[in-house]
Amino acid sequence: MGTEESAQTEQYKRMVLDEWTDAATVAAWRKWHPKATTQLQAMTDALLEAAGVRAGLRVLDLASGTGQPAIDLARAVGPTGHVTATDLSAGMLAAAEEHARQAGLTNLTCRQADAHDLPFADGAFEVVTSRSGAMYFTDIRRALGEVRRVLAPGGRVALAVWGPADQGTFNSSVLAPFLRRVSRPPPPPDAPQPYRFAAAGMLRGELERAGFRAVTEVHRVLPQPWPGPPEECRQFFYDIAIPLRPLFDSLPPQERAAAVEEVVELLRAHYDGRMVNATRAAVLVSGMRWRAPSSAPRPSRRCGGDVFLPQLPHAGVTDGGSCRHSLIALRLVDALAWAERSHLLPAVVQEKPNPDHRMAARARIMWRGVRRSPATLGVGDVQEIGGGRAGACPASCCTVERSAPASRRSPT
């Protein structure tokens, strides 16, 4: 990094620190926390799904703010798991600790930390998440390098950021009236701001450059309902949208009042008397720290070594009742990436479009443990899960085609 670039990064870092540790910022997020939790619940749910959280996992949440999504993560991993919530702001974390106590959670701890210099040991976590935080990582490559370092081999990172500002009804309501009145040059591409990674492929590319594998990026327009009247929704957004304050405050008083009135009327078009039913675009990106396949078969712990299961990344063991039917499940996208890169399995899994099969979009592939080496697994050892039970898919949405065995070289 050159001297000029380094100075710019330091300037960005000071700006983010000042904005998000300011007492007024902390007070606003604390004040609006209950209703903000409702408004952002769909984004939180999508993040947890992308992260693949389950009971017993060790999770690190970055830029946790006043407690979400760390609180929902703690509920998901249960008493056998643990969540560490981090933030630059001690004030934000004090609020997060209070909200965790109110929720009765004992498996969540808070620690002040900078994503660019995480105070945790290598491989300390199985999942790392961040909701609306990655766009404020001033040196994204350094931050992702730290994320990769603290992830255990086979661990997963999942990040949720805002999508394009012109998608969804929320931004068109709260931002458009100001943008029509103020001419603003676009921010530098590396500037920390809400829509920094809105464009397709931007955040995915950063994860791939950081060394993550099986990286996926999904763009969605999510519900963002505000549980209150339009005037309150407008005030909430002004209070917490710290990076956009210069835009809101740049107008002369009379023009600003007109813009505010227009915002309220646009929000009122989505108000049902109880909720402002707006929507907002989000980008969800996930990837994993690669765990190189073992050169030897890994025995199942249930069967005393007489059944061998393939070494699969980020996989949860499903108890099928006996060693012969022990199963490892992983998402279709991970299965495809693993099969392509591992060079161990002589089969290619493909999804056939089938509009009548509702599970096609969330198909799960089952790799059945057999009394053979993973390198000799064949077509009959790959099954699709339907309705929660192992077996052939009734809609036949997945096929397995035989291919020539590839070399056993480790993936690069």
How far is 363 from 351, CA to CA, in rounded Å?
9
Residue pair 364/329 in contact by the 8 Å Cβ criterion: yes
How far is 97 from 103, CA to CA, in rounded Å?
10
Strand order in the sheet with 108-112: 108-112, 82-87, 58-62, 125-131, 151-162, 276-288, 213-226
Q: Which of 15, 148, 129 is closest to 63 using CA atoms?
A: 129
Residue pair 230/50 in contact by the 8 Å Cβ criterion: no
**183 or 174, which is more confident:** 174
User: Range with the lowest mean pLDDT among 1-10, 11-20, 154-163?
Assistant: 1-10
Is it the case that residue 206 has pLDDT exceeding 80? Answer: yes
Per-residue pLDDT, 183: 82
Non-local (6+) Cβ contacts of 186 within 8 A are: none
How far is 174 from 185, CA to CA, in rounded Å?
19
Q: Is 141 left (phi over 0), alpha (psi -120 to 50) or beta?
A: alpha
Label residue 357 by pLDDT band (50, 70, 90): very low
How far is 155 from 289, CA to CA, in rounded Å?
5
How far is 83 from 60, CA to CA, in rounded Å?
6
Q: What average pLDDT does the segment 379-404 reach?
A: 33
Per-residue pLDDT, 1: 55
Per-residue pLDDT, 3: 63
Q: Which two tokens stand for residue 172?
A: 């068109």
User: Residue 364: in which H helix or E strand, if any?
Assistant: strand 364-368
Label residue 4 by pLDDT band (50, 70, 90): low
**151 or 358, which is more confident:** 151
Q: What average pLDDT does the segment 14-18 reach?
A: 90
pLDDT above 90 covers what percent of the chain?
A: 60
Per-residue pLDDT, 329: 34
Is it the case that residue 306 has pLDDT exceeding 60? Answer: no
Domain boundaries, the chain: 3-288, 298-402
Q: Which CATH superfamily is domain 3-288 in?
A: Vaccinia Virus protein VP39 (3.40.50.150)
**250 or 391, which is more confident:** 250
Q: What does the DSSP assignment read for 294-309?
A: PSSPEEPTTTTTSSEE
Q: Which two tokens stand for residue 347?
A: 């089969």
Is it the case that residue 237 has pLDDT exceeding 70? Answer: yes
For residue 68, give Cα distances in angstroms to 132, 193, 404. 10, 20, 48
Is it the case that residue 6 has pLDDT exceeding 80? Answer: no
Non-local (6+) Cβ contacts of 114 within 8 A are: 88
Residue pair 393/360 in contact by the 8 Å Cβ criterion: no
Per-residue pLDDT, 245: 85
Q: Which of 305, 312, 303, 368 is closest to 339 using CA atoms?
A: 312
How far is 362 from 296, CA to CA, in rounded Å?
31
Angle at 103 between CA 99 and CA 106, to 5 degrees: 95
Q: What is the mean pLDDT of the chain?
A: 77
Per-residue model confidence as pLDDT tens digits over 87-132: 999 999 999 999 999 999 999 999 999 999 999 999 999 999 999 9
CB burial class (10 A; 0-12, 13-18, 19+) of residue 312?
Answer: buried
User: Residue 92: in which H helix or E strand, if any?
Assistant: helix 90-102
Strand partners, 348: 401
